[in-house]
Amino acid sequence: MSTRDIPKDRWCDELDTFSRQHEGWIVRVDVSGADGTTHTQARDLPLIGVSCDAPQSDRIAIMAGNRVDDHLTHEITSTVSIAIDETDAGAERGLLIRSADGSETRVEFRSPMRTDEVDGMPHP
């Protein structure tokens, strides 16, 4: 597993691009606490998007699920780092978002692949 850190001044732009490229992809959202416990917040839901409040904001929101009965908005406060998790082939596997309290939120695609390999997806 390799990760690519996103500089804080690029969070909003990078998350916007990430969301547009992966909208509708099936995701799992897991939150690991500083104590090592992990809770699954969403499983097998389409990604709606990941966003930040404003440039330089430390509040991040993950939205998944497109029906009333399966919608999730997971908010992360006091974000200290965001990284894109990549496969050895260069496909984006998901996101790793770390908070000041030591917790980590992982957004993981069920089937990671490079966006240029997806039929009908625009090339970045």
Nearest 5°: the CA angle 32, 33, 34 is 125
List pLDDT tens digits, range 67-103: 888 899 999 999 999 999 998 888 899 999 999 999 9
Pick the CATH number of 2-112 from 2.60.40, 2.30.29, 1.20.1740, 3.40.50: 2.30.29
> Which regions in the chain score pLDDT beneath 70?
1, 112-124
pLDDT of residue 56: 79
- Between CA 80 and CA 70 the distance in angstroms is 29
Q: Could you state, in order of their start, the residue ranges of all structural domains in the chain?
A: 2-112
What the block records as the tokens of 43 is 């499983």
**φ, ψ dihedrals at 20, nearest 5°:** -65, -40
pLDDT of residue 91: 87
pLDDT of residue 119: 57
pLDDT of residue 100: 97
User: CA torsion, points 91, 78, 15, 8, in degrees to nearest 10?
Assistant: -90
Model confidence pTM above 0.85: yes
3-class SS of residue 5 = strand
